[in-house]
Amino acid sequence: MSDFARKDFSTKAEEKLTPNSTKSTGEKIKEAITGSGDKIARGVQPDSSKSDSQEISDKFGRSKDRNVHGSTGESIVDKTKHALGADRH
C-alpha cells in the first residue's frame, strides 16, 4: 500500500520494466506527470509521516537523483525557503 497521492513500489517497478517502445504516448505522458507529482510529494512530506516502504523508496530516489543530477540533497521545502530568504535570521 502506498501513501496518499503516491506511486507504490509495484507501480514504479512495472513502469520501469515495461519498455518505452511498447507504451502508448498517453501512457508515457501519464507516467511523466504522475512521476513528477510523486517527486514533489516525496520532497514535501516529511519522512516521519511516511510508511516504512515509502520512506525507504524515497531515500533511495533522493540518493539516485543526487548521483544522476548533482542535487544538493535539500528538500523542496528547504530549497523554497532558501530561495525566498526565509531561512535567514
Domains of the chain, residue spans: 7-50, 51-88
**What confidence score (pLDDT) does residue 73 get?**
59
**What confidence score (pLDDT) does residue 1 get?**
45
Distance CA(65)–CA(3), nearest Å, equals: 21
DSSP structure class, residue 3: -
**What confidence score (pLDDT) does residue 28 get?**
92
For residue 28, what are the CA distances in angstroms to 34, 53, 56, 68?
A: 10, 25, 25, 21
Mean pLDDT in the chain? 80
Grid cell of 3 as nine digits: 501513501
Taking a C-beta distance cutoff of 8 angstroms, is the pair 27, 14 a contact?
no
**What confidence score (pLDDT) does residue 21 get?**
93
Low-confidence residues in the chain, pLDDT < 50? 1
**What confidence score (pLDDT) does residue 45 get?**
84
Is the sign of the CA dihedral 18, 19, 20, 23 positive or negative? negative
